[in-house]
Structure 1
Amino acid sequence: MPEFNFLILYVDNPPNSAAFYSDLLGIPVIEQSPTFAMLPLREGIMLGLWSRHTVEPAAAGAAGSVETAFAVSGVGEVERLHGDWKARGLRIIQEPTRMDFGTTFVALDPDGHRLRVFVPQDAG
């Protein structure tokens, strides 16, 4: 079976997006060119940032139609990250909210991609 190892977001400016994610997540940029950048999310899983202007075949989807989700260990961590990301100037489109799956909030990256932070209900 094929192994999942890459998440690619189509972005306007890969170097700018790489700097954003490197700072936000505290991870290094391990590859960068004017049209592509790559960061390690965890062992064997990479985040690719590809210029929406050069991706082939051309992408038709819009930012915000999928989410990148980050699970954390507790409600306190959801609230801490919410405050940190808000202070960094990220646009928050959902304030911390208790939902059927747990406590969560949603922010947007500079390209409008959704970033969901959550703690599963049984861990909160």
Structure 2
Amino acid sequence: MNLNMKYLILYVNDLEASLHFYRDLLGLPIKMQVDTYVEFETGATTLAVNTRKSVNELLDLGLTTDVPSASTFEIGFVTEDVPGTLDQLRQQGVRVVREPETKPWGQTVAYVTDPDGHFVEICTAIG
């Protein structure tokens, strides 16, 4: 079996809040949008969002709309300037949950959350 990760879709409650976070605050260009489904250009793997309501209507996956926190995984974005990026996001009202820290393996990492509570890691490249 030869699998390649092509995209990751986040199920969100508020499309406009997610667009504001990923497009306006993180600066990710929109690659494609069809109704409530939006893909962002992020490199080799596409990040997409779709509303929980739309996914339920289209796919009947049984998603709930009252998820208190989606913090069951994280999305990682690599940058050369973690502190500077974090400062820019903080100034725009993004919730910072972990300040920059250099890990034993040499990588600097910090964490913010998106409007639905997904952890977003802002980090330097490993190695």
- TM over 0.5, yes or no? yes
Matches within 5 A, 1:48-67: 48-55=48-55, 56=59, 57-59=61-63, 62-67=69-74
Deviation, 1:120, is: 4.6
**Percent sequence identity over matched residues?**
27
Alignment match, 2:37? 36
Give the structure with the larger strand fraction: 1
Alignment match, 1:94? 98
Paired amino acid for 2:41: P
Taking structure 1 as the reference length, what is the TM-score of the superposition? 0.80
Whether 2:91 is the aligned partner of 1:84: answer: no
Unaligned stretches of 5+ in structure 1? none
Alignment match, 1:8? 9
Q: RMSD in angstroms over aligned alpha carbons? A: 2.2
Size of the aligned set, in residue pairs, is 118
| Match of residue 109, structure 1, among 110, 114, 123 | 114
Deviation, 1:10, is: 0.8
Cα distance in 2 for partners of 1:46, 1:72 equals: 17
